[in-house]
Amino acid sequence: MAGGWRGVLELTLLTCLLSTVISYTTPPILRDCTDFQTSGIFRDNNLRVQFLLFTPRNPTCAELIQINETLSTENSAFNASLETKVIIHGFRALGSKPSWIDDMVDSLLAAEAVNVVAVDWVCGATANYNQAVENVPRLSREVVALINHFLELGATEKSFHLVGVSLGAHVAGYVGQYFGGRIGRITGLDPAGYKFTHASPEERLDPSDAIFVEAVHTDTDTFGIRIPVGHVDYFVNGGRDQVGCPSIRKLYQYLICDHMRSVTMFITAMRGVCSYVGFPCASYWLFREGHCVECQSAPCPRIGKKYLQATPDVASSTIHPEDENTTTDIERELPDPDNNQELMYLLTTTDEPYCAHHILLEFNLLEQKENGITIEIQLISADIGTSKTKITVPKHTLEGRTLAAHRTPLCGVDMVTLRASSSWMSLRRRKEFSGTLCLAELPMSSRQEMICLPDVLSFFGGGHQTHNLAEIRSRHCQ
């Protein structure tokens, strides 16, 4: 009988243990999934807002958050101890759900355990751009109410990261301004330019709106803002005319490709596919000419990575560029938002995911020429692809420099082909010159990092040469 009671007791304890485990591992029963609203050019397009919550427990099924109903949030999968990402889309010409929303939610949840809230204001952002602009402060107040609701549940201001696309970037700015810049982070993806370029800092995104504000500029000549608006502003390919975008024959894609490149790059960065490194420089021209090759006193910032404010004594506690998939709360000391804004430039390749290694190319003439020299250079990596660029050595100078965006590191380049300019005028003048070619991958801190072809290269008219880099790589690459 004693053994029988012991068996019953063991069974009871086992049942309790299993119940406890199940309660911790089984997701809560979720309400019906909610999706974005749709609108149209002939509808009233009054502002109607939905807040759609995604978490590690419901990564594909959005829960509708009703900020006026506390129980709706308390019974949801929201976790106040986690960071909260708030995605805010921009203008919707046709009233459809943004095609990139699901990918962005997925990338944010894949990167770390967070709450993700997608702000649906498709109604109010469709057809009439001027009306959508007028709705920006109204929408901002509703997002403020959402954040206050989460703060009441135990979240902290610093735990919020607002990701705003186009008009949504300025919505994030208004929200951050309401909280006195105490929001942890704002990412503006090609913040809208029309109606905001000449606005005051109080009426658009600016560095005072969060502890850290970053902006990715990809369409500054059409839909995006051309002025810096963050602590760090990335101007991709100079901020305009993104490589790999279609021709005007594909009109819709042609119109939105540059603007949406910022979104594609951010999603790719969050998934850890690419590390988009920005290099500080005074202008895009100086950057392309190879005059900004260093990262100064700290690692260069990367799109999508955390850079929260640090004190000088801990600013050196940074991660290294090779730690691609890691982030820390303190990575880089920020500039004073009242005095400094850092302009960052970077190149991409023509094909998605647009990952690029920045290769510095330098050609040194043996003697100066009366006319400028132009050399077309092609970097070749077997089974990976090629990249093309040009070096110009101005007249009466000895050195020309440029940058190439290549899919592999320099140590993955197999061959380099050089072709002298072969215009009719250059052939007529029978332009002859000789010099040396050196290469380096950014960032670099000294000329000792450059790899130089061992032989002097001589050109006559439109000649070309191909050189194998295998032997050079064996000496310089680990």
Residue 377 phi, psi dihedral angles, 5° rounding = -125, 135
Buried b (16+ CB within 10 A) or exposed e, 406-435: bbbebebbeebebbbbeeeebeeeebebeb
DSSP H helical ranges for 244-331? 251-270, 284-288
For residue 166, indicate whether it is catalytic.
Answer: yes
Which residues have a Cβ under 8 Å from the Cβ of 358 and sit 6 or more positions away? 277, 279, 346, 347, 403, 404, 405, 441, 442
Catalytic position from the list 39, 107, 140, 166: 166
Catalytic position from the list 161, 259, 357, 358: 259
DSSP codes joined into one string, 79-92 = -TTSEEEEEE---B
Rounded to whole angstroms, the Cα distance separating 62 from 51 reads 9
Q: What is the SS3 assignment for 250?
A: coil
Take residue 18 and report the two structure tokens written for it: 């299993």
For residue 190, indicate whether it is catalytic.
Answer: yes
Rounded to whole angstroms, the Cα distance separating 217 from 188 reads 9
Rounded to whole angstroms, the Cα distance separating 183 from 27 reads 29
The residue type of 447 is R
Catalytic position from the list 107, 159, 170, 190: 190
The DSSP 8-state label assigned to residue 338 in this structure reads T
Rounded to whole angstroms, the Cα distance separating 358 from 403 reads 6
Polymer length in residues for the chain: 478
Q: What is the SS3 assignment for 471?
A: helix
Catalytic residue list: 166, 190, 259
